[in-house]
Structure 1
């Protein structure tokens, strides 16, 4: 089907000239970028550029294929040529900026993103990368303005949310930083950056999310909450589902569920039982012997960055005998 499409484009190009040649390059280039066939793209577009050096689309996709192979120095001249041939194409300016960034020319990188945004103020990637380069340069206020603009266009952009929270933390605007970290973790509670965000949040004395260790794996879990009836709150189901999935995929190991409630041992016991029952409901294959519960009528003490925090109600979850 792809070969037939190329033949059709080739035949149409004979009839229609350069316009169809650019369309052919765009279709082929998009295909190569999507499939990751960068070496083939390089060979294909290098041949096209040699034959048609004034084809801006061929120059652009040759640059893209080289950049994707970490050949920024080779890609630079092709992006520069594409911009000269068609200075009104916003993507040409954006990728030229990315290439400058790879080569360490931060001033030229920033200028390229700014030119892209002059052409299209809603170009999300250019706005986001402008925030990145400003953050690297230490221009924190300008960086956060760029990230705010991104979030107007895309409320859940992960990089903008994370870096915005980081800037507020650096600026010691702790109340705003705490809210920003919570917002990031609401949308992105898993992965390496979630663990880092959790460290930042905990350092501010907020333990709405915590790093828990299940075997040799560190995961971010939202605070386990309970309804007035005593049952586990549905808001805590995602965290418990993650715990259950990890345990059920391990050949051995005992899940330890420890509940603290200051001056109320009965409530602590009830909550521990509710957590175990919820896990068994979600994952009936986890045998009762693989979940052990404990409860205490004391507060939990947590040390974070040489500071000690007291939590009157908390849940600690970890694995033993998993090796």
Structure 2
């Protein structure tokens, strides 16, 4: 088998085997490494998503966009990638309208990173690559609310009431910005959050948007950023218990990447009561027997209603 698996030449497909989904392919991607243990007679390999190919292609010339929809910019970046590598297995699918952007990319700008950066701007778009057609698709926002996809970690996680064996909460205060002043070509924008400043102090940022000439765009950018960044970023890494019953929500059946699930976690100083957690990453593992399992999930909490705890003195 090891002779048949070669980096970037072999594709891995993951698909459902239950009758409900009729062997639906829910993920695919190229192998990027292989490891063979001769004495053990075992071959292991890792695969990555198709988007990884774009992380190895750079622009050869400077490219500028003025008041261009972000989806159209991503489309142009993909077109540039296909010129660089005509054998690139990714083609363009559908592109939804999102937000107008003014941006310049320098020579040697990585194409994949440029697309990722567009998703991380305020009101940035989402994207996905279809696992069968390998088409790159831009959506204004991916995901829906999944009221029935609920995670529970109670006490030490060993009880039957917990469908998670581990839950890691990370509260990152280094991301806080509650005074933002984007600088454009001729003007600046401004947005502040007085409540956040009362809670944490003043955290300022002055991003350079040198290609923007419209003051209204700068103000809109500042207002959107302040909503998202005025509180610490809270992320969760969750380890679902292996189970075939409905107590454990199933990826690609009960929820998908981009969907909002709900988490209840209670232990010591953590008391999370049904917080909405949008799933942005997942790790799948496949045993030697070919049994697929969800090793971990990465999700981000909605922060607009979260305030620092009030601690008693003594």
The interval holding the TM-score normalised by the smaller chain is under 0.3
Normalized per residue, the structure richer in strand is 2
**TM-score, normalised with respect to structure 2:** 0.23
Normalized per residue, the structure richer in helix is 1
